[in-house]
Chains A and B, each alone.
Chain A
Amino acid sequence: MKPLEGLLVLEFSQFLAGPSAGLKLADLGARVIKIERPVKGEACRQLSIKDLYVDDSSMLFHTINRNKESFAADLKNPEDLEQVKKLIVQADVMTHNFRPGVMEKIGLSFDNVLKINSKIIYGAITGYGDKGSWANKPGQDLLVQSLSGLTWLSGKSIQGPVPFGLAVADLMCGNHFVQGILAALLKRIKTGKGVLVEVSLLESILDVQFEALTIFLNNGGKLANRGNVRGSAHAFLSAPYGIYETQDGYLALAMGDLLLLGSILEVDLGKYTDKKSWFRSRAAIRKILSKKIIIQTSDYWIKALRKKGMWCEKVLNYQDLNSKAFMDDLQLRQTIVYTEGETMTTTRSPIQIDGTILSSKKGAPKVGEDNEKIYEQFLSN
């Protein structure tokens, strides 16, 4: 039995943060119904990566919205809104990521909804919270990364700000949203009352930086220095931490005994016997290591380093990764079936419960695909 079986979630959220949370809840067993505007549906249906579409909707949409149902309704049409309200009466959770004020205008604010469902878990995602001068800025991932200070942690100093190459603020915010919603469900069990859950992209991306921010708060406000050596991987960690080019690729070295590393690589690190110098002189040390590591292949070094217990790994690309046996053995791919029997391959939930992988073959719905069924079950009387 999946842990959230029996829970009904209505998803008014669009794009990535909210819907990625909806996907996690769906994989954990909840029934998730997307409330979408008729015909066009959720905006993400038209947002594609590399122009990849699988039907009328982008592959991106299909990746984020598998294992959900779709109920098409126009919230500006009074009849449709009535139906949506009837659905809300029977729902456990509803989520949205409209800008502050939008749900109030429609009449679906938390206070409005409490009047028709006193036990609702009401989840709202914003970009920057609902207070202050940033509240109405667009809640977009790259912009949030840029404002939050995150861009000064990756790459090397000469590059200026380097953003994370994935929508990390959206995704972490989605993860926090799931935590908040699940905690709210536990609170509801105790109080019997509805609960409001709020997260924002900005707070989530700040939370991701809790280590770096805590250092900044306690070191007299000094900014991080990434150093200026290629392959730098962490502004606050000592040598050898980083990525190094080899004769035929790249390898990563995590934290470890630098002097032992020196003896394996047969380089002279005699100047660096004081552990404190591993941080202060990390640029110089990493240059020495780089010069040596490039003259042999990745496999050569990995073998030599692992034998002595050094923490290292080959840097793979998607083709290398996809050819690894563990991709099959751990069932890291799953095939989903969308409308009319067509299939696509995607990833799966990262959480296992009772030794069982939370897989699901159900693909993303077409706009309004489940209207009839939902009408029958929830709205016909």
Chain B
Amino acid sequence: MKPLENYLIVDFSQFLSGPSASLRLADLGARVIKIEKPGTGDICRSLYTSDLIMNGESSIFHTINRNKESFAADFKNESDLKTIKKLLTIADVVMHNFKPDVMQRVGLSYDDVKAINPNVVYAEISGYGNHTDLKEHPGQDLLLQSLTALTWLTGNQNDGPVPMGLSIVDMLAGAHLAQGILAALYRKAVNNFGALVQVSMLESAIDFQFETITTFFNDGGELPVRTKSNNAHAYLGAPYGIYKTKEGYLALAMGSISVLAQLLKCDELLQFPENKFALRDKIKVVLAKHLKTQTADYWLSVLEPADVWCAKVLNYQELFKEEGFKVLDFVQKATMGDGYAYETTRCPIKIDGELFTSGKGSPKLGEHNDKILEELMHG
């Protein structure tokens, strides 16, 4: 039994942040109905990444919107709005990620929805909350990474700002929104009243950096300094980083330099009897030079038996061949209403040993209008 069975979520959100939250809730058992603008639908449908077009639409859309239904309706059209409101009266959760004021203008603000559905959980994601300096700024992932200084943590010291190469802030905001919604649903189940849940990408990006920003707040305002080479964390000492070997790359987490010197038979490392933070650049240079003399597999065969924290660096092709990956059963097939099938990943959470898989692909725009209208008529 899935934990959110019998919950209905009406989702107005687009792109990644909001829809990634509703995907999680769908996988946990909720029924998610996307409300999309007739004609174009969720803008994400045509947000192509790489050259890949899947069944006429973007790969991102298919990834994020599987296991959902689509109801095409225009809330600027009066009769559509009436239908939407009918749907909202039976929803447990309503979500959107429009800019502040949009829902107000169409008469679907929290107060409006509460008037027709008193115990609703109303959830919204914004870029920056409701701050006047930022209200008009687009809530876009790279811009948020840049604004919140996240770009100074990845890469090496002389690389300039290096963003994290996927939409991490969107994913964080989506994860936090799902948390807020679930917490509100719990309170609703116990106390029988609804909630307004709000998350912004700005707050999520800062929360993500809570360790490093708190350090900055309390160390006299020093900026993070990445190591000159092999950086993996601006605030951690050597050997923490990834190293090139004769064949392949090796990741080394925290560990003792003198133990490494012994195991790797690297006498040059013995000049660092104390693993001082200030010496990390020098240590890394010595280590990097030495590790190039053998293959990653060789080093692993020396380090792993001694319980040194290390791993090989894999790409997707290599990862997919590993038994450690295969046993996860992480890939699933999703099939759309028209029979188009694609492979994607599954929900990462396991409850009572149950993997939350779903064979249901993403919906075509308006695919479920008839079904939903029928239900509303007889509901």
Check A182/B182 contact, CB under 8 A, given A195-B352, A254-B142, A280-B51: yes
- Chain B residues with Cβ below 8 Å from A167 are 211, 233
- Digitize A280-316: 1 where CB-to-B-CB distance is under 8 Å, 0 elsewhere: 1000000000000000000000000000000111111
- Digitize A327-358: 1 where CB-to-B-CB distance is under 8 Å, 0 elsewhere: 00110110000000000111111111111000
Min CB–CB distance B184 → chain A (angstroms): 5
Min CB–CB distance B167 → chain A (angstroms): 7
Give me the interface of B with A, judged by CB distance under 8 Å: 1, 3-5, 24, 28, 47-52, 54, 59-60, 62-64, 128-129, 131, 133-134, 137-138, 140-156, 159-168, 171-173, 175-180, 182-187, 189-191, 195-200, 202-204, 206-219, 221, 223-224, 226, 231-236, 240-242, 244, 249, 251-254, 277, 307, 309-319, 322-328, 330-331, 342-345, 347-353
Kindly identify which residue among A51, A138, A348 contacts B309, using a CB–CB cutoff of 8 Å: A138
- Chain A residues with Cβ below 8 Å from B331 are 217
A176 pairs with B166, CB closer than 8 A:
no
Q: Which residue of B lies closest to A220 (CB)?
A: B52
Check A153/B180 contact, CB under 8 A, given A203-B328, A252-B142: no
Q: Which residue of B lies closest to A212 (CB)?
A: B166
The 5 closest A-B pairs by CB, nearest first: A134-B324, A165-B153, A153-B165, A182-B182, A132-B327
Please, how many angstroms separate the alpha-carbon atoms of A349 and B348 in the complex? 23
Please, how many angstroms separate the alpha-carbon atoms of A210 and B171 in the complex? 10
Q: Which residue of B lies closest to A351 (CB)?
A: B180
Q: Which residue of A lies closest to B180 (CB)?
A: A351
Check A354/B196 contact, CB under 8 A, given A143-B310, A184-B3, A186-B182: yes
- Chain A residues with Cβ below 8 Å from B343 are 214, 217-218
Min CB–CB distance A6 → chain B (angstroms): 8
Q: Which residue of B lies closest to A252 (CB)?
A: B146
- Chain A residues with Cβ below 8 Å from B311 are 137, 142-144, 146-147
Please, how many angstroms separate the alpha-carbon atoms of A143 and B49 in the complex? 28
A243 pairs with B186, CB closer than 8 A:
no
Min CB–CB distance B227 → chain A (angstroms): 10
Dominant secondary structure at the A interface: mixed
Check A199/B185 contact, CB under 8 A, given A133-B323, A206-B345, A210-B63: no
Given contact pairs A242-B163, A252-B146, A349-B207, a sample of 6 additional A-B residue pairs in the complex whose CB atoms are under 8 Å apart: A52-B215, A52-B219, A165-B153, A326-B131, A330-B202, A353-B197
Min CB–CB distance B104 → chain A (angstroms): 14
Please, how many angstroms separate the alpha-carbon atoms of A311 and B211 in the complex? 29
Interface centre among A166, A199, A202 (most CB of B within 10 A): A166
Please, how many angstroms separate the alpha-carbon atoms of A159 and B341 in the complex? 36
- Chain A residues with Cβ below 8 Å from B154 are 154-155, 162-166
B317 pairs with A187, CB closer than 8 A:
no
Check A353/B183 contact, CB under 8 A, given A140-B253, A234-B166: yes
- Chain B residues with Cβ below 8 Å from A217 are 331, 342-344
Please, how many angstroms separate the alpha-carbon atoms of A146 and B251 in the complex? 7
B327 pairs with A165, CB closer than 8 A:
no
Q: For the complex, is A190 an interface residue (Cβ under 8 Å from B)?
A: yes
